[in-house]
Structure 1
């Protein structure tokens, strides 16, 4: 398998496993035409919301650039625009999954557990304007994903509840 495809597959599997561990349902988009890899939903009421759901675009990296408490991640402008701005019926998030450089370290198994390496982080771009896509415009943009936005069972539940916990750009 191509290394980049394998890395991306692990990143998406990481998000799926996290959602399953939280007891949420998942749906994988059959085609990535709109910038969404996974839809994650709570089966039934969660607080005051009924059957809440979110959509996530998953990116992965084995060599993250971390500066000032953020992951500096380059996104194609097209991918950025699929997540940016208001008006989505279902909230959308970017997830950056940091993966090991060596595929044999993606999942470590024993008789007692399976450890998926290494961590996922999330970012909302709902407060950002979409970018121009003309022939003379930049083709990529760097987003800053705060390390405090670690994606866990708890934070995934908060995102489904509509609580972004003071997330920043």
Structure 2
């Protein structure tokens, strides 16, 4: 398997693990023609707007050194940028970038009592970012404060249950 495919599959597994812990469902897109790799949804009986909220995620993974001044400077293909920025969507879309070590052997650590996944995911909404012209890639600044963990995933799906977008 190509290294890029390994990163993609590890990223899906990483988000699946968090969604499982949160009690949320996940679904992979068979064709990624709308810049969506994974949908996450759940049931919220007390939701004020949407009882079955959903969010859509564009997953990217990299081992490149892209962190500078508290941000991941991620070069996103223009098509992905435009698809994620679309302001006429009902389902909120987010960019999720997983930073992984160069060595695939360091992605998972096996311990006698548990297994741990390494490194960390970060999320970003570019819905309100400026419209970009004539570029094949757009550098997106993802704050390191926007770490995607189980609590953050639940926060994003809770916002969706309220008809909101982060």
Scaled by the length of structure 1, the TM-score of the pair is 0.88
Match of 2:143 in 1: 146
Q: Take 2:132 and 2:78, find their aligned partners in 1: how far apart are those partners?
A: 7
SS at 1:145 equivalent:
strand
Scaled by the length of structure 2, the TM-score of the pair is 0.90
Which sections of structure 2, spanning at least 5 residues, go unmatched?
Answer: 161-165
The answer to whether structure 1 residue 39 and structure 2 residue 39 are counterparts is yes
- How many residue pairs match? The answer is 161
Which sections of structure 1, spanning at least 5 residues, go unmatched?
Answer: none
Distance 1:93 1:46, change over 3 A: farther
Offset at 1:47? 4.0
CA RMSD in angstroms, aligned pairs only: 1.8
Q: Take 1:46 and 1:76, find their aligned partners in 2: how far apart are those partners?
A: 38
Match of 2:104 in 1: 103
SS at 1:87 equivalent:
coil
Deviates more, 1:61-70 or 1:144-153: 61-70
SS at 2:113 equivalent:
coil
Deviations 1:25-59 (A, max 9, x none): 00000110110000001134354341111000000
Match of 1:50 in 2: 51
Matches within 5 A, 1:51-70: 51-70=52-71
Q: Take 2:105 and 2:97, find their aligned partners in 1: how far apart are those partners?
A: 20
